[in-house]
A and B are shown apart, each in its own frame.
Chain A
Amino acid sequence: MNAFVCPAPIAVQDTVLLGHGSGGKLSAALLQQIFLPAFHNPLLSRLEDQAVLDVERGRLAFTTDSFVVKPLFFPGGDIGSLAVHGTVNDLAMGGAQPLALSAAFILEEGFSLADLRRVVDSMARAAENVGVPIVTGDTKVVERGCGDGVFINTTGLGVVAAGVDLSAANARPGDCVILSGSLGDHGITILTRRQGLELEGAIESDSAPLHTLVAAILAAAGDVRVMRDPTRGGLASTLNEIAVQSHAGIAIRETALPIHDGVRGACEVLGLDPLYVANEGKLVAIVPAASAEAVLAAMRRHPLGAEAAIIGEVVGRHPGLVTMHTPFGTTRIVDMLAGDQLPRIC
C-alpha cells in the first residue's frame, strides 16, 4: 500500500500558478526567489505594505504608466526595461530626477517563470543603471486566457529642482523645436516582430532612460519651455498636444527629421508615416531661440542626443495646428491620428 501523499504544492514549478497571486506561500516564494534578489534594496527588503521615503522640501513629480507590449522581448529591450525607462522618462520630462519606483505585475496563469525571471532581471538592471530603487510592488495572477503573459505597471516619484517649470502649455512663437534623435526605431521594431510582418534589418528599439540628457539640457539653459517624449502616436501626436495646450502653431521641416534607413525602408513597405511611430528613447525640447544653440550642443555631447537636430519652430499662425514644410517647398498639415496607424496596401 502506498503511503498517503500530502497534496501540498511541489516546490519546483516552471510556470505561474494562480496561487502565486493569492498572498500565501506561493506568493512569498515568488518574492523570495525572483523579485527580491533582483530588486534588492533596503526599503524593499523590509517587505512592509508601503515604502516610506525621506524627501527634501520642494516639489515632487509623480507619474504612472502601464506596459502591455507584445512581443515581450525585442531587439534593444523588453517589457521590463521599457517599464523602467518609460516611467523614468515621464518624470524626466517634468525636469524631475527619479527618486523611487514601484512595480506591479499582473501575470497570466501558465506564464513561464524563466521568462518572468528574464523580465525582472532586465528591470533590475535598467533601474540600477538609472540609479533608482524599486521600493514597493505587487503581484496578481489572472486565469489563463485573461491576460497576455505579463502586464506591468510602474509608478515613479521624482524631485523637481527649484526654478524648473516645464509644461506643454509654455511654448511661445519664436521658440525652437529640437528633437534628440532618430524617429520610429521602437515602433517599427515592435511592428516588424509581430507575426506576418517579418522584416529583417538592423532595427532595434531605442528604449533608454533620458534623465541625464534632461539634466544636461537644463544645465545648458535656464529657460527651457517644454520637454516631451514622443511615445505612442509618435512625434506628430506630441507636437499636436503641445500646439493645442500652448495655443500656438508649430512648423517643422521634413528634411530636418533624422530617420534611419531601416525605419525608412520598413515605413515605405508598410505604408506607414514615421511621424506617427512610437519612440522610447527620444525627446522633444522647446526652447527660446536664444538658447537653442547651447541646448543643441549639450544634447549632441550626450550619447543619447548625438543625432539631435533643430526640426522647426513655434509660430503665431495656425494656433493648435502642426504643419510641415515638405522637401518641395510646399506645406502640409501634420494631423493627429484617429486611432492606431495600420499598415496599408493602398
Chain B
Amino acid sequence: MKYLDEYRDADITHALAARIRARATKPWVLMEICGGQTHTLMRYGLPDLLPPEIELVHGPGCPVCVAPLEFVDRAIEIASRPGVIFVSYGDMLRVPGSRQDLFRVRAAGGDVRIAYSPLEAVKLAQEYPTRQVVFFGIGFETTAPANAMAVWHAKRLGLTNFSMLVSHVLVPPAVRLLLGSPANRVQGFIAPGHVCTVMAHREYEALSAEFHVPIVVGGFEPVDLLEAIAMLVDQLEDGRAQLENQYSRSVTRDGNVAAQKLMEEVFEITDRKWRGIGMIPASGHRLREEYAAYDAERIFGAQEIHVEEPAECISALVLQGLKKPVDCTAFGTRCTPEQPLGAPMVSSEGACAAYYAYRRHTASEAAQ
C-alpha cells in the first residue's frame, strides 16, 4: 500500500536507529503524545531499537482514555433509555463508566450500535424517524471535523431526532499542562501528526518557543516515529528548541482550512475535565447555541451524575507520563483488558493496554 509500506521499511528504520545511537550522548526523556503513535511503537517493539539513553514516556493522546468520566456515565444513561438508538465508535464500547459500560447496556437491552463514520448515525436518524438517535462524539481535533459535519448535515436535513453528545478534547492545552508541571521530566515531544494535519502546527510552535522545548510533528509508521525521534535527539544534542515537521507529506503550514472553518462554525471551546487528569481550561468543544437542537447534553437534561473512579487506578500519572503502566500495583492482576479499572487499559492504544498486550513479557523479565 503506497504511502504506508515505504514507511514500514525495516532497513530505513534500522538506519535511523543507528543514527540515533550514534548521536545520543546523554540520557533524554521523550514523549509521543498520540495514542496511535504509542500503538505503533508497542506493536513493532520499536523501543527495543533505541539506545538506553532514550527513555520514551507515553502521553495523554488517547481520546478514549481521557473522555471525561461524566460523559461516559451520561452516555450510558442516555443509551439505557427506551426509544434511543445510541451510536458510538467501536473504541468506546468497553470503556468502564462509574458502574458499567456501553457493552453491558447493550446486553441489558439498550440499542447501542457501532459506527465507523458519524454520517452513519445521521443515516440512522433518517431511517428511524420515531427514534432518538444519539451519537457519542469523542475524539481529538482529528475527529472533530467529521463529527461537526454530521451535525451540519443533520441541520441541513432538518432532522428533529438526531443529537450528539460532544466530548471532544483538544491536545495543546494538555501539553501546556504537562510542560507547566513541576514534575515534568519530558525534554522533547513528538506532536500528533493527524491532529496537526487538521490544525497545522501553530499551537505547538508557540509551546516550543514558550517552554524552550523541541517539538517534532510526527507520523504514525515506524519510519516516521524513528525519524521524529532522530530529529528530537539532534535538537537536544545541539541545544536547539524548535518546532520541526517530520510528517510534511500530510501536515502543511495552514493545516486543513475547510475543516477548521467547519469546526469554528459548529463548536465553541469550553473547559473540560480530562479523565484521570482533571479540569483543563479551554480544552474541549461544545456545540454552539445555533446547534442547540442537536446537543444531547441539553436535550437529555443536565442531571447530576455522581462519578467514581477505582482507588487503585493511577491513570492520571500514566497519562502524564509520570509513571509507567508496570508501576501500577493493579497492572496485569486486578486490572486487565477483561476487567479494566481505568480507561488506558481498555483502549487498544491506551498505554496500559499496549503494555499489557505487547510487552508484559519484558516487564516480567525485568522484574526477575
* Contact, chains A and B (beta carbon distance below 8 A): yes
Residues on A lying within 8 angstroms of B by beta carbon are 195-197, 264-265, 268, 270-271, 318, 321, 323, 326-333, 335, 338-339, 342-346
B114, A339: Cβ atoms closer than 8 Å: no
B358, A333: Cβ atoms closer than 8 Å: yes
Question: Does chain A have a CB within 8 A of B222?
Answer: yes
Would you list 17 pairs from A and B whose C-beta atoms are within 8 A, ordered by A residue? A196-B114, A196-B116, A271-B348, A323-B361, A328-B46, A329-B10, A330-B46, A331-B45, A332-B45, A332-B359, A335-B337, A344-B89, A344-B349, A345-B90, A345-B116, A346-B91, A346-B139
Interface size counted on chain B using CB atoms at 8 A: 44
**Stretch in contact with the other chain, from B35-43, B72-80, B198-206, B209-217:** B35-43
Q: Contacts A333-B361, A344-B91, A346-B35: A328 and B120 contacting too (C-beta < 8 A)?
A: no
> CA A105 – CA B336 in complex, angstroms?
38
Question: Does chain A have a CB within 8 A of B176?
Answer: no
Q: Contacts A331-B45, A332-B42: A270 and B114 contacting too (C-beta < 8 A)?
A: no
Interface centre among B36, B45, B349 (most CB of A within 10 A): B45
The answer, among B8, B89, B93, B361, for a CB contact under 8 Å with A327, is B8
The answer, among B13, B36, B115, for a CB contact under 8 Å with A346, is B36
Q: Contacts A268-B4, A328-B10, A330-B44: A346 and B359 contacting too (C-beta < 8 A)?
A: no
A346, B45: Cβ atoms closer than 8 Å: no
Chain A residues whose CB sits within 8 angstroms of the CB of B91 once the complex forms? 342, 344-346
> CA A344 – CA B42 in complex, angstroms?
17
Residues on B lying within 8 angstroms of A by beta carbon are 1, 4, 8, 10, 13-14, 35-36, 42-46, 48-49, 62-64, 89-91, 93-94, 103, 114-117, 120, 139, 143, 222, 336-338, 347-349, 356-361
Which residue on chain B has the smallest CB distance to residue A249? B361
B49, A343: Cβ atoms closer than 8 Å: no
> CA A326 – CA B42 in complex, angstroms?
11
A338, B10: Cβ atoms closer than 8 Å: no
Chain B residues whose CB sits within 8 angstroms of the CB of A195 once the complex forms? 120
The answer, among A323, A326, A343, for a CB contact under 8 Å with B90, is A343
Chain B residues whose CB sits within 8 angstroms of the CB of A270 once the complex forms? 116
Which residue on chain B has the smallest CB distance to residue A261? B1
> CA A330 – CA B8 in complex, angstroms?
13
Chain B residues whose CB sits within 8 angstroms of the CB of A197 once the complex forms? 116
A330, B49: Cβ atoms closer than 8 Å: yes
> CA A281 – CA B79 in complex, angstroms?
38
Q: Per DSSP, are chain B's interface residues mostly helix, strand or loop, or mixed?
A: helix
Chain A residues whose CB sits within 8 angstroms of the CB of B44 once the complex forms? 326-328, 330, 332
The answer, among A330, A335, A339, A345, for a CB contact under 8 Å with B139, is A345
> CA A93 – CA B212 in complex, angstroms?
62
Q: Per DSSP, are chain A's interface residues mostly helix, strand or loop, or mixed?
A: loop
B359, A333: Cβ atoms closer than 8 Å: yes
Chain A residues whose CB sits within 8 angstroms of the CB of B357 once the complex forms? 333, 335
Which residue on chain B has the smallest CB distance to residue A197? B116
A346, B1: Cβ atoms closer than 8 Å: no
Could you tell me the distance in whole angstroms from the C-beta of B365 to the nearest C-beta in chain A? 9
Chain A residues whose CB sits within 8 angstroms of the CB of B4 once the complex forms? 268
> CA A126 – CA B64 in complex, angstroms?
45
Total inter-chain residue pairs, C-beta < 8 Å: 91
List of 6 A-B pairs having minimum Cβ-Cβ separation, nearest first? A330-B45, A342-B90, A338-B337, A332-B358, A330-B48, A196-B120
Could you tell me the distance in whole angstroms from the C-beta of B41 to the nearest C-beta in chain A? 10
> CA A329 – CA B4 in complex, angstroms?
19
Could you tell me the distance in whole angstroms from the C-beta of B34 to the nearest C-beta in chain A? 9
B114, A342: Cβ atoms closer than 8 Å: yes
Chain B residues whose CB sits within 8 angstroms of the CB of A326 once the complex forms? 43-45
Which residue on chain B has the smallest CB distance to residue A332? B358
Which residue on chain B has the smallest CB distance to residue A342? B90
Chain B residues whose CB sits within 8 angstroms of the CB of A339 once the complex forms? 94, 103, 338
Chain B residues whose CB sits within 8 angstroms of the CB of A344 once the complex forms? 89-91, 348-349
Interface centre among A271, A328, A329, A338 (most CB of B within 10 A): A328
> CA A195 – CA B42 in complex, angstroms?
32
Could you tell me the distance in whole angstroms from the C-beta of A57 to the nearest C-beta in chain B? 45
Given contacts A268-B1, A344-B349, A346-B62, 8 further A-B contacts (CB under 8 A): A195-B120, A271-B348, A321-B361, A323-B361, A333-B358, A344-B90, A346-B63, A346-B64
A343, B114: Cβ atoms closer than 8 Å: yes
Chain B residues whose CB sits within 8 angstroms of the CB of A321 once the complex forms? 361
Could you tell me the distance in whole angstroms from the C-beta of A173 to the nearest C-beta in chain B? 17
Could you tell me the distance in whole angstroms from the C-beta of B192 to the nearest C-beta in chain A? 11
A196, B62: Cβ atoms closer than 8 Å: no
Chain B residues whose CB sits within 8 angstroms of the CB of A330 once the complex forms? 44-46, 48-49
Chain A residues whose CB sits within 8 angstroms of the CB of B359 once the complex forms? 332-333
> CA A200 – CA B65 in complex, angstroms?
32
A345, B143: Cβ atoms closer than 8 Å: yes
Chain B residues whose CB sits within 8 angstroms of the CB of A318 once the complex forms? 361
Q: Contacts A330-B49, A338-B337: A345 and B8 contacting too (C-beta < 8 A)?
A: no
> CA A321 – CA B359 in complex, angstroms?
11
> CA A346 – CA B36 in complex, angstroms?
6
> CA A265 – CA B46 in complex, angstroms?
23
Which residue on chain A has the smallest CB distance to residue B115? A196
Chain B residues whose CB sits within 8 angstroms of the CB of A265 once the complex forms? 1
Could you tell me the distance in whole angstroms from the C-beta of B194 to the nearest C-beta in chain A? 10
Which residue on chain B has the smallest CB distance to residue A327? B10
Chain A residues whose CB sits within 8 angstroms of the CB of B222 once the complex forms? 328
Could you tell me the distance in whole angstroms from the C-beta of A95 to the nearest C-beta in chain B? 33
Could you tell me the distance in whole angstroms from the C-beta of B253 to the nearest C-beta in chain A? 26
> CA A232 – CA B348 in complex, angstroms?
19
Chain B residues whose CB sits within 8 angstroms of the CB of A345 once the complex forms? 89-91, 116, 139, 143
Interface centre among B35, B91, B143 (most CB of A within 10 A): B91
> CA A136 – CA B349 in complex, angstroms?
49
Chain A residues whose CB sits within 8 angstroms of the CB of B348 once the complex forms? 271, 344, 346
Could you tell me the distance in whole angstroms from the C-beta of A275 to the nearest C-beta in chain B? 11
Chain A residues whose CB sits within 8 angstroms of the CB of B361 once the complex forms? 318, 321, 323, 333
> CA A118 – CA B51 in complex, angstroms?
61
Chain B residues whose CB sits within 8 angstroms of the CB of A342 once the complex forms? 90-91, 93, 114
Could you tell me the distance in whole angstroms from the C-beta of B315 to the nearest C-beta in chain A? 16
Could you tell me the distance in whole angstroms from the C-beta of A253 to the nearest C-beta in chain B? 13
Could you tell me the distance in whole angstroms from the C-beta of A88 to the nearest C-beta in chain B? 32
The answer, among A196, A328, A331, for a CB contact under 8 Å with B117, is A196
Could you tell me the distance in whole angstroms from the C-beta of B56 to the nearest C-beta in chain A? 14
> CA A128 – CA B143 in complex, angstroms?
51
